[in-house]
């Protein structure tokens, strides 16, 4: 991990188009301003982890549904559910 020291109104540049600026420092809290292209998602870590958790649940649910397709209910008089001509 790269550790940098910055003061208020100083910035860090990541790549060619992401700028992180220290906007304010109050006690043990630092406010950061982030400039990034709109196609690059920017989240707080706890929000990102919640998004990833939700995606995994959705993928597991979708995989489980496709692995276990619903079985047709047998019709009356045809206990095996075999189609009749």
Please state the pTM of the whole predicted model: 0.64
Q: pLDDT for 10-44, tens place per residue?
A: 999 999 999 999 999 999 999 999 999 999 999 99
Look at residue 12 in the predicted model and tell me its pLDDT: 98
* For the chain, domain boundaries: 11-67
Q: Where are the alpha helices (DSSP H) in 1-85?
A: 45-67
Tell me which H or E stretch contains 76: none
Average pLDDT for 35-62:
93
Asked if pLDDT for residue 73 goes beyond 90, the answer is no
Q: Does 33 or 66 have the greater pLDDT score?
A: 33
Handedness of CA 60, 62, 63, 64 (dihedral sign): positive
């Amino acid at each position: 991990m790269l550790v940098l020291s910055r003061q208020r109104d100083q910035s860090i540049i990541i790549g060619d188009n992401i700028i992180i600026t220290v906007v304010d420092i109050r006690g043990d809290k630092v406010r950061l301003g982030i400039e990034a292209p709109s196609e690059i998602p920017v989240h707080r870590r706890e929000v990102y982890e919640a998004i990833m958790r939700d995606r995994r649940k959705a993928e597991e649910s979708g995989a489980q549904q496709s692995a276990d397709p619903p079985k047709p209910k047998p019709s009356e008089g045809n206990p095996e559910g075999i189609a009749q001509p």
